[in-house]
Amino acid sequence: MTRKLEKARQYEKKYSKNIQKKERPAFHLTPYVGWMNDPNGFSRFGDKYHLFYQYYPYDTNWGPMHWGHAVSDDLLHWEYLPVALAGDKPYDKNGVFSGSAIDLGNGKHLLMYTGVKETWKKKAKHPQVRQMQCVAIGNGLEYEKYENNPVIDETKLPKNASPVDFRDPKIVRTDDGSFLAYMGTKDKQESGQILVYESKDALNWKFKSVLIKNNARLGNMWECPDVFELEGYDVLLASPQDVTPEQFEGLSGNVPLAAIGHIDKEKQVMYDEDFQVADYGLDFYAHQTVLAPDGRRIMIGWMQNWDACCHRIPKQKWFGQMSLPRELHIVDGKLIQNPIQEIEKYRKNQVLVNQHEIQGTNQKIQGISGRLVDVTFKIPTDAKEEYTQIQIKFAADISKNRYCSLLYRKNEHTLTIDRLYSGNQRAILNQRSCIIDSDASTLKLRLILDRFSAEVFVNDGQKVMSMALYTEQDAQEIAFSTDGKLNVTVEKYDLEI
Ligand code: FRU
């Protein structure tokens, strides 16, 4: 084992002991210690789910990237394994960036990742940066980097592709047993494109095609692609940077994309793509999927936003967490996401309140509170209802005016998630909204709270809003405020995981 990897392993083993169970979410994965960003290598291998992640153990800020590693049987209980990769070779000495993993079927697990290398030229103000694709093969615990790495470097780039931004390979197996890998890059106009490479053995790769070009439709660079078939459609997930609000339903910055369309399998070109926002909340990015043994397509994302990393809980010993894994479907061409069914096993202490009248501000309902809960609200939306807006405060301590909230504006058909009053002292990114475009007479909101996060599944997964929470753990109240009068139905469970 290299010194760099050994050092990281010793460090995480020692310092993770300082983090009490209660200081982490109950079922969302956080870094063993230090910093976490993107999910990597989400895969099945040896009867377990494996999830790797962008990892810097030594600090709660981003630093030279490693691959952290955890395994799970049910995607809710995670066991940490030792850090799997460090940047310990000349071609990845500045970091092992995002990528994917695949079961090779011969007892071997293959990781495909981006190696980052910076070279200083004499008198230069900046280093020359190169990103290249590499593989490591292992047994689910220990991984050996391939001797002929990198397997795809700038010499294999098509014309009009950046060797500086060239990353995040997603490897998949095709029906004939060979491999394809999808990765993000920029063209010379600074616009993202997804490249496709093909290989018979996952080691020798050849450029195949440009799957899709951004052509300045959504931001600039597109990172972290994933490609899969779902219910008669082909889906491309990607993470565009620098999106402007007019491009994508009023959202800006890093916005998680799900492009639903069709891929010509021979040519590996996508067409008829419909761009959909994969999550309308404040924190969700770099999402990738795994195929469960029972055929479910399950997606997980980094529940953070690059532009909001300055929101912190003082002295917290970890930073960054994964979202709840979600089951994907497509209905009428639209992506539907719901929490993995496994969570239902842990719903305890049901409280069901039918048609409860809400009038005035900060109304509480007996038995409806908690910070580790799965709660569904049903709100009547008919124009004749005697209210224009309803606000649901959660993770709240009303006496201190601390809360996060969901605000539904009936006439504007908008839902806003907000953490301005959650106790953080930074100015940016406290609120995001989406349009409720269903004409159903009830708005259904399923809210899952896990100490440090909120995820809202709207109308059985038509839209999702996720965000990290920074409020003190004793802020447990749920309260309702409205400018009129309405009856809400609430079904609440504690989550005992
Ligand atoms: C996305 C990303 C990836 C990159 C990684 C670096 O969040 O920028 O493109 O591989 O993070 O940590």
Please report which helix (H) or strand (E) contains residue 8, including its range. helix 3-15
pLDDT > 90 fraction of the chain, expressed in percent and rounded = 95
Pocket test residue of 224, 239, 243 for ligand 1, highest count of atoms within 8 A of CB: 224
Closest ligand 1 atom to the C-alpha of 168?
10
Q: Which of 363, 324, 401 is nearest to 377 (CA)?
A: 363
Contact 301, 286 (CB under 8 A): yes
Per-residue pLDDT, 345: 98
Confidence band of 312 (pLDDT split at 50, 70, 90): confident
Tell me the CA–centroid distance for residue 96 and ligand 1, in Å: 10
Q: Residue 17, Cβ neighbours under 10 Å: how many?
A: 9
Pocket test residue of 170, 223, 283 for ligand 1, highest count of atoms within 8 A of CB: 223
Contact 36, 55 (CB under 8 A): yes
Contact 53, 37 (CB under 8 A): yes
CA distances from 394 to 134, 176, 404, 406, 419 (A): 44, 51, 5, 8, 10
Per-residue pLDDT, 316: 87
Per-residue pLDDT, 131: 98
317-374 pLDDT, tens digit per residue, is 999 999 999 999 999 999 999 999 999 999 999 999 999 999 999 999 999 999 999 9
Confidence band of 311 (pLDDT split at 50, 70, 90): confident
243-270 pLDDT, tens digit per residue, is 999 999 999 999 999 999 999 999 999 9
Q: Which of 448, 414, 449 is nearest to 433 (CA)?
A: 414
Confidence band of 314 (pLDDT split at 50, 70, 90): confident
Q: Whose CA is nearest to atom 9 of ligand 1?
A: 223
Q: Which domains does the chain have, with CATH numbers?
A: 3-342 (2.115.10.20), 345-495 (2.60.120.560)
The pTM assigned to this predicted structure is 0.97
**Structure tokens of 96?**
């092992």
473-496 pLDDT, tens digit per residue, is 999 999 999 999 999 999 999 999
Confidence band of 315 (pLDDT split at 50, 70, 90): confident
Contact 176, 200 (CB under 8 A): no
Cα angle vertex 249, ends 426, 456, to 5°? 65
Per-residue pLDDT, 423: 85
Tell me the CA–centroid distance for residue 39 and ligand 1, in Å: 10
Q: Which amino acid is at 206?
A: K
Contact 390, 379 (CB under 8 A): yes
Per-residue pLDDT, 426: 81
Confidence band of 110 (pLDDT split at 50, 70, 90): very high
Question: Does 38 qualify as catalytic in the annotation?
Answer: yes
Catalytic-labelled residue, pool 38, 168, 283, 450: 38
Closest ligand 1 atom to the C-alpha of 38?
7
Find the mean pLDDT for residues 23-44: 98
Say yes or no to pLDDT of 438 above 90: no
Closest ligand 1 atom to the C-alpha of 224?
9
Tell me the CA–centroid distance for residue 98 and ligand 1, in Å: 6
Contact 128, 136 (CB under 8 A): no
pLDDT > 70 fraction of the chain, expressed in percent and rounded = 100
Q: Whose CA is nearest to atom 6 of ligand 1?
A: 97
Find the mean pLDDT for residues 416-427: 89
Per-residue pLDDT, 433: 97
Tell me the CA–centroid distance for residue 309 and ligand 1, in Å: 14
Tell me the CA–centroid distance for residue 125 and ligand 1, in Å: 23
Find the mean pLDDT for residues 3-7: 98
Closest ligand 1 atom to the C-alpha of 99?
10
Confidence band of 429 (pLDDT split at 50, 70, 90): confident
Contact 214, 251 (CB under 8 A): no
Q: Edge to edge, what strands does the sheet with 222-230 contain?
A: 222-230, 233-240, 257-264, 269-277
Tell me the CA–centroid distance for residue 97 and ligand 1, in Å: 6
Cα 387 to chain centroid, rounded: 35
The pocket around ligand 1, CB under 6 angstroms, is made up of: 37-38, 54, 65, 97-98, 114, 167-168, 223-224, 285-286
Say yes or no to pLDDT of 22 above 80: yes
Say yes or no to pLDDT of 310 above 90: no
Closest ligand 1 atom to the C-alpha of 239?
1
pLDDT, greater one: 423 or 236: 236
195-233 pLDDT, tens digit per residue, is 999 999 999 999 999 999 999 999 999 999 999 999 999
